[in-house]
A = this chain, B = another copy of it.
């Protein structure tokens, strides 16, 4: 139970005490303008781009809208308001949905026709066969974890503890990579040994790649090592590869930063050519809010996903009926966007590139600004929309935090918020190498907010360091 609560605390970090304070400050600013030394709250805590001004892709929205209100699909006025290919795609999707109704529950794995489209998109991207019957569409990654650990095959209380232990373990791995330039494989083995010595019989490893909160990407050889490690130790590999499935160009932006130019192109599932000797299971989310689960084909049928196990997974999925239909449709659109020659192709590409180049600019600007601060070191964002700077806090600040019964990085983040209105997440909420302190901030605030964020953070940081210097 203790572990479970720890994890609650951990996950809660992103929307926790700091956010509650931020909302209070926002209300105070509204009720009494001028009551704080800043005039707005700057949310850098959540990977929530559209809340911060990022515009949705028109083609995606057009198709969603035409599916939700098919009454206007064939009206004359519709052609003037929507792209011809969006209308055509909406018709196609209407045929894929049983009952042609987006207001109905779907198959528990997601609508079959949409899974067909997604499977074809994965095949085109990764170059191996993806079976739509092996794909489960869910509302984000949390239901996948719940599903995986509710399957009787996995469901003992011990397993729940293991999951959480392994999550903590994972973050350590990624931090290793971040600070030593590469990931220490021996650290993973050590953690497993420690867990075993503590009586935890480890059954699964969760890999989040690109990492959250670090934004770092596991190199190709590290990915291979992890797969081999899971085989050797008989672990289930749960791979949360959210950004892997995002339109390739979103990842391409980051690629120049990584040592290998290809290792981001495909998901871990490409290791299907390795002959597997132990269970291996992979969840490959394809965009924020939608998750698809793809099983390694060879492994699937030979070792892990014996039909009775897959039946159990389906059973657990069916308890919650199905994921939301708009999300399912969106997943199929992302895996099959407008192609060259389609009416919407040009606007789609322009909108997408605008988002990507803006993200790249933000990442560089924020990295540079943060790295210029005393005692802070920040790695380059490689594959996610997060930065996870490490901060060397003065001893007096650490002591003041302990006196206030707070983690030192949370102490720093609260001071930052109260002085500047900037909201970031303390690293202690995620788990970090003992004795180190971090905060996570996103690279997604809109262009016009960036200068304010940088100048306020600089001024605050200088003052904070001076105050606690000795």
Which residues in A have some Cβ–Cβ distance to B below 8 Å? 1, 4-5, 8, 11-12, 14-16, 46, 48-53, 56, 58, 61-62, 64-65, 68-69, 71-72, 75, 77-78, 80-81, 98-99, 101-105, 108, 139-140, 142, 150, 152, 155-157, 315-316, 318-321, 324, 326-327
Contacts and interface: CB of A to CB of B under 8 A. Distances in A.
Contacts of A316: 8
A104 B16 CA distance: 18
Nearest to A57: B103
B80 A48 contact: no
B152 A5 contact: yes
A321 B12 CA distance: 9
A72 to B, nearest CB: 5
A310 to B, nearest CB: 12
A104 B8 contact: no
A12 B319 contact: yes
Given A77-B81, A139-B324, A321-B140, A104 B50 contact: yes
B69 A61 contact: yes
Contacts of A108: 15
A140 B15 contact: no
User: Could you say how many copies of this chain the assembly holds?
Assistant: 2
Nearest to A5: B152
Q: Which of A69, A142, A150, A326 has the most CB of B within 10 A?
A: A69
A105 B48 contact: yes
A98 B68 contact: no
A62 B108 CA distance: 27
Contacts of A324: 139, 324, 326-327
A319 B142 contact: yes
A156 to B, nearest CB: 7
Contacts of A319: 8, 11-12, 142
**Can you list the 7 inter-chain pairs with the closest CB atoms, starting with the nearest?**
A51-B104, A50-B103, A50-B101, A51-B99, A50-B104, A15-B318, A65-B69
A368 to B, nearest CB: 27
A367 to B, nearest CB: 24
B139 A139 contact: yes
Contacts of A156: 1
Contacts of A80: 77
A42 to B, nearest CB: 13
A129 to B, nearest CB: 20
Given A75-B81, A321-B140, A50 B99 contact: yes
A155 B160 CA distance: 15
A318 B16 contact: yes
Contacts of A99: 50-53
A15 to B, nearest CB: 4
A53 B103 CA distance: 10
A324 B143 CA distance: 14
Contacts of A321: 15, 140
B77 A68 contact: no
A318 B105 contact: no
A46 B105 contact: yes
A134 B61 CA distance: 32
A336 to B, nearest CB: 19
A69 B62 contact: yes
A282 B138 CA distance: 28
A14 B103 CA distance: 19
Contacts of A48: 104-105
A313 to B, nearest CB: 12
A15 B78 CA distance: 38
B51 A105 contact: yes
A447 B456 CA distance: 65
Contacts of A155: 1, 4
Nearest to A76: B80
